[in-house]
Amino acid sequence: MRISYDDRLGLIKDVSAIFLKYGLNVEAFQLMNRMMTVEICENPTAPWGKILAEIKTVPLILSVECVDEISFDPRKKRMSAILDSVSPSGDPSDSFDEIVGDSAAMREVLTLARRVARTDSTVMLRGESGTGKELFAAAIHRASDRRGKVFVPLNCGALPENLLESELFGYRDGAFSGGKKGGRIGLFQFANGGTLFLDEITEMTPNLQVKLLRVLQEGRIRPLGSNEEIRIDARIITATNRDVEAMVAEGSFREDLYYRLNVIPLRLPPLRRRIDDIPLLAENCLAKNRAKTGSAKFLSRAAIERLLGYRWPGNVRELENVVNRALHLSREDGIDASDIVFDGDFGSAPAEVPRPALKYAADSVERELIRSALTDHGSLRAAARVLGVSHTTIANKAKKFGICVK
């Protein structure tokens, strides 16, 4: 079964409720890129046609397609609903492949992230907006021993305190007016056995900070309107783009909670400090577009140099936006510098970067462009024609960069 959906608060729990309604036990639930993977133990008498039809009625479910159903085993029947390209049982060594980057700064943080994934400690991801904190959190989950269970992301800054509390802890029937009849389980309980990712953790109110601290200390939650405590086992990964130490010093973030959450800090570098990754990231955007549309568009050297000369306050997210915009603005197969328009800076000159860094990055770009052209077209003459330079120029460049030409 393949299900795609648009984001909506509570959507995943609504889908799970349908499985539970028909007596089906959800064993694993993987979320990624608005797709999910569900593994369940099936009751052989379950009305699957009715179940699929009911899932389709859930608001913002875009499509439901049956992919695989394993024949019934009297001891256990499993149905896999493949909603994600990453299988929970997949090779954990591949879990960081979606993260693009080969700079020294990225290699260092990726090495630490892989080591962190093998532990069960809390992790605090630190970095500016757009640096890929949720991408790292999901990769850590997929590389961990919890990869067969659900990864649940939640933005703490997107909800008011009362809604955030009910989302995290759940509630019993009648706990408050307007609640769902029969109550609802919270994300702590829903993520049991898996990973709960709390983005923008520093936006959590002092009252909820106290409650989160208690959960971390005791491993138990109490749903709203209930006197019963429920034991939970979910790994907590948090993220923030703020100076937490300054918030602790001024008293707006609890010091004891900070130490509980910051057992392993991971600082993600901003794009301006990994300039040599920009061509790789831009090409990754083009490759995604190529896979969707079949477009053969490529970045000219002038376009790449313009990308290299910008400061990227919005980091990777802004870079993806700029490249996607250029894809639509360009009229030819080659995307030129004039097609590169930055957010909030239309028509202005790009910010300067240190000349040594720019020269190093430009050499790196030239080397990769020449190597790629030779691989695709087989000869210096054909590669020179594609890149718009003379045969002599590309021969000299190939010699300079030590590129072997057969």
Average pLDDT of the chain? 80
Helices (H), 170-225: 187-190, 206-218
**87-91, 95-99, 151-155, 378-382: segment of lowest average pLDDT:** 87-91
Max mean pLDDT range (55-69, 84-98, 146-160): 146-160
Q: What is the pTM of this model?
A: 0.64
The reported pLDDT for the residue numbered 71 is 35
**DSSP letters for 127-151:** --TTS-HHHHHHHHHHTSTTTTS-E
Residue 24 CA to residue 41 CA, distance in Å, equals 6
Neighbour-count burial of 174, counting CB atoms closer than 10 A to its CB (0-12 exposed, 13-18 middle, 19+ buried): exposed
Residue 160 CA to residue 205 CA, distance in Å, equals 9
The reported pLDDT for the residue numbered 384 is 78
The reported pLDDT for the residue numbered 242 is 96
Residue 183 CA to residue 172 CA, distance in Å, equals 4
Contact 243, 262 (CB under 8 A): no
Contact 198, 188 (CB under 8 A): no
How many CB atoms lie under 10 A from the CB of residue 283?
Answer: 19
How many CB atoms lie under 10 A from the CB of residue 168?
Answer: 26
**8-12, 71-75, 92-96, 256-260: segment of lowest average pLDDT:** 71-75
* Torsion (CA) 96, 265, 109, 318 in degrees, nearest 10: 80
The reported pLDDT for the residue numbered 389 is 77
Query: Does the structure show a pLDDT above 90 at 323?
Result: yes
Mean pLDDT of 388-394: 78
Tokens of 377: 């077209």
Q: In the beta sheet, which residues pair with residue 125?
A: 239, 266
The reported pLDDT for the residue numbered 134 is 96
Query: φ, ψ for residue 68 (rounded to 5)?
Result: -150, 135
Nearest to residue 127, comparing CAs of 151, 95, 105, 100?
Answer: 105
The reported pLDDT for the residue numbered 319 is 96
pLDDT one-digit tens code per residue, 346-382? 544 444 444 444 454 556 667 767 777 777 677 888 7
pLDDT one-digit tens code per residue, 93-144? 568 988 999 999 999 999 999 999 999 999 999 999 999 999 999 999 999 9
CA 152 to chain centre: 12
SS3 content of the chain, % helix, strand, coil (to 5): 45, 15, 40
The reported pLDDT for the residue numbered 67 is 54
Residue 216 CA to residue 228 CA, distance in Å, equals 18
Diameter over CA atoms, the chain: 80
The reported pLDDT for the residue numbered 354 is 45
Q: In the beta sheet, which residues pair with residue 39?
A: 28, 80
Domains of the chain: 2-81 (3.30.70.260), 92-267 (3.40.50.300), 273-400 (1.10.8.60)
